[in-house]
């Protein structure tokens, strides 16, 4: 009996030791699974909170509520099992939605520790540095070429010897001071502005005469400077009254030997679609208001020999409107030049009644601003001058016009044609058509 009791006691102790013994590997695995499951649960909760916080742009990307609830329950269950020390084998048929917990390998190789001497001899292995990001190659803009920028501007034309300068100071005896500004007038001694400010010309020259007028200057500084400095002094320059530097341009032009005129804006046939400016003479205004506008234009500058209409294709055809205008111009001792903007102009007929010194342009040189067309018109002007002994060409300050004028002036003089100022071709109706 004692032997039997002893055997039972030993057996009980063995059983007790078996159940109370804790395998370190199992304990370690359970702890790992416990920590992993808790981390996964926190990560899933965080992801769910982020999905709820941001708007769902694509409805198709909305998570499946059923699977999310299922995954949450499984994760909680795995945590409870890990806390109890229960270890479940992974199954191949697990759902793709259940995360795979990393498991500790049973066949881990023993780790070897190196002595301090070996560590010192082992070269440090630094991760390869990422190649620095190459900066984007930006195309450098070529430096701005001032020559190409100036190609759009009229060039300063080169000509032969410069003409003798004219006096740039106006004669006070030929000025009438008014509230509008200084107006030209006939001097007390009978001197006329058209004579005092005219460019000297040899009237004994019997060659055919050609006058060239560049109209509309003063609004473009580049074109105005090119015309003043690049064209021969025998070319007459007409300035717009709207130029803010009108007197300055007139002084420079006379210093370069040019005879000067003033543009008078007049109503064109396509008015108001094409408006020559706020001081335009109009057929819808009475004579008093048109005279006020005329005097405003005349008061903008000084030292000019006369006026030339600007775009007056409609106004110059009205006898009732042109008569008081030409009479006022004549009384102030000025020349009137008709630009020939309309074949129905009555200016010469009115000038004849007023016994007024006037002239009319033979043709416009640059109705089409092309080299070929301007050359053709110059050839026609030369023929007219040789036939009638005088001809007047008028042009605008286009770059091509200025370039062709400079060239043709030299050619005409070489072919026996005299380039004269407008004052040398203007005449009273009683004079013959022969040169003065």
Query: Quick one: pLDDT at residue 174?
Result: 97
Q: How far apart are CA 209 and CA 413, in angstroms?
A: 10
**Per-residue pLDDT for 286 more than 90?**
yes
H and E: helices and strands count for the chain: 13, 11
Query: Quick one: pLDDT at residue 34?
Result: 54
Query: Quick one: pLDDT at residue 386?
Result: 96
**Per-residue pLDDT for 181 more than 80?**
yes
Q: Does domain 176-424 have CATH number 3.30.830.10?
A: no
Res. 300 pLDDT band, cuts 50 70 90: very high
Domain ranges of the chain: 176-424
Map tokens 């042009």 to a residue.
395
**Residue 183 forms beta bridges with which residues?**
176
Q: What is the DSSP string of 418-435?
A: EE--GGGT-B-TTS-SS-
| Secondary structure class of 181 (helix, strand, coil) | strand
Residues 6+ apart with CB under 8 A from 280: 265, 266, 267, 271, 293
Q: Which segment of 67-81, 272-286, 303-317, 335-349 scores lowest on mean pLDDT?
A: 67-81
Residues 6+ apart with CB under 8 A from 326: 336, 347, 350, 351, 354, 356, 358
Query: Quick one: pLDDT at residue 102?
Result: 45
Closest CA to 290 of 312, 262, 261: 312
In percent, the amount of the chain with pLDDT more than 70 equals 65
Question: What is the tens place of the pLDDT at every residue in 4-24?
Answer: 777 878 787 777 666 655 454
Closest CA to 175 of 154, 196, 152: 196
Q: What is the DSSP string of 323-356?
A: HHHHHHHHHTT-EEEE----TT--HHHHHHHHT-
C-beta of residue 68 within 8 angstroms of C-beta of residue 48: yes
**Per-residue pLDDT for 260 more than 60?**
yes
Q: Which range scores top for mean pLDDT: 121-125, 127-131, 311-315?
A: 311-315
Q: How far apart are CA 74 and CA 60, in angstroms?
A: 25
Note the helical H segments in 21-124. 24-53, 65-84, 116-121
Question: What is the tens place of the pLDDT at every residue in 68-116?
Answer: 555 555 666 665 665 555 455 444 444 444 444 444 444 444 445 555 4
Please give the backbone phi and psi of residue 350, each rounded to the nearest 5 degrees, phi first. Answer: -65, -40
**Per-residue pLDDT for 226 more than 70?**
yes
Query: Quick one: pLDDT at residue 428?
Result: 76
**Per-residue pLDDT for 323 more than 60?**
yes
Closest CA to 352 of 333, 331, 327: 327
Query: Quick one: pLDDT at residue 29?
Result: 52
Map tokens 């500004």 to a residue.
181
State mean pLDDT over 371-376: 97
**Per-residue pLDDT for 238 more than 60?**
yes
Query: Quick one: pLDDT at residue 92?
Result: 45
**Residue 310 forms beta bridges with which residues?**
265
Pairing of strands 181-184, 175-178: antiparallel
């Amino acid at each position: 009996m004692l032997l039997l009791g002893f055997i039972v006691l030993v057996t009980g102790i063995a059983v007790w030791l078996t159940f109370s013994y804790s395998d370190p590997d199992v304990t370690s695995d359970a702890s790992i699974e416990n920590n992993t499951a808790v981390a996964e649960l926190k990560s899933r909760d965080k992801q769910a909170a982020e999905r709820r916080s941001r708007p769902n742009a694509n409805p198709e990307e909305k998570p499946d509520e059923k699977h999310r609830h299922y995954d949450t329950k499984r994760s909680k269950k795995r945590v409870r099992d890990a806390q109890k020390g229960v270890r479940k084998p992974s199954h191949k048929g697990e759902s793709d939605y259940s995360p795979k917990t990393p498991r500790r390998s049973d066949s881990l190789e023993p780790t070897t520790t190196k002595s301090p001497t070996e560590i010192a001899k082992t070269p440090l292995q630094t991760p390869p540095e990422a190649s620095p990001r190459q900066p984007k190659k930006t195309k450098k803009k070529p430096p701005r070429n001032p020559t190409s920028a100036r190609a759009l501007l009229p060039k300063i034309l080169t000509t032969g010897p410069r003409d003798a300068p004219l006096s740039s100071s106006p004669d006070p005896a030929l000025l009438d001071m008014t509230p509008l500004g200084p107006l030209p007038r006939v001097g007390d001694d009978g001197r006329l502005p058209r004579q005092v400010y005219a460019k000297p010309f040899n009237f004994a020259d019997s060659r055919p005469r050609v006058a060239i007028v560049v109209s509309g200057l003063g609004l473009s500084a580049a074109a105005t400077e090119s015309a003043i400095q690049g064209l021969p002094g025998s070319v007459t320059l007409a300035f717009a009254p709207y130029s803010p530097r009108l007197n300055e341009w007139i002084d420079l032009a006379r210093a370069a030997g040019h005879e000067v005129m003033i543009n008078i804006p007049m109503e064109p046939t396509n008015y108001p679609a094409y408006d020559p400016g706020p001081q335009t003479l109009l057929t819808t205004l009475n004579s008093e208001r048109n005279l006020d506008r005329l005097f405003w234009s005349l008061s903008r500058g000084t030292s000019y020999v006369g006026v030339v209409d600007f775009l007056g294709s409609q106004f110059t055809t009205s006898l009732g409107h042109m008569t008081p205008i030409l009479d006022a111009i004549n009384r102030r001792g000025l020349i009137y030049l008709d630009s020939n903007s309309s074949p129905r102009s009555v200016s010469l007929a009115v000038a004849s009644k007023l016994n007024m010194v006037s002239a009319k342009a033979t043709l416009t040189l640059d109705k089409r601003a092309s080299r070929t067309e301007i050359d053709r018109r110059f050839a026609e002007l030369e023929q007219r001058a040789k036939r009638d002994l005088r001809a007047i060409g008028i042009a605008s300050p286009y770059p091509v016009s200025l370039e062709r004028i400079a060239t043709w002036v030299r050619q005409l003089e070489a072919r026996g044609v005299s380039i004269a100022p407008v004052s040398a071709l203007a005449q009273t109706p009683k004079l013959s058509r022969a040169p003065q």
